[in-house]
Structure 1
């Protein structure tokens, strides 16, 4: 479930360890969260990790390039 946690500056998202997140059609799982954003690992077993700031995640949700 995608949970939105509002803050005065920008929305914050809460992804669980079993949540699949599609970013530009690529499947990820959240592995770490900080005040800056999330680290996602691809689910294709390549071990590729990418970090996304909360502002970028919010923008991707708004423009439809992030699916949960």
Structure 2
């Protein structure tokens, strides 16, 4: 399961990972900077019956102009 804001890039990455590594890579576009997005994502994961076993956080969390 791949989560990011940009649906177009996310779908392309999921397709590439699925074909290259022969895995089920699912794109789930979501802007996790939106306060309710995390809860909505968790509910969607449960609805799909998916089990999350690992988390890789590749977001730096910085805002423009903030160091």
TM-score category, normalised to shorter length: under 0.3
TM-score normalised according to structure 1 size: 0.25
Higher share in strand: 1
Rg (Cα) greater in structure = 2
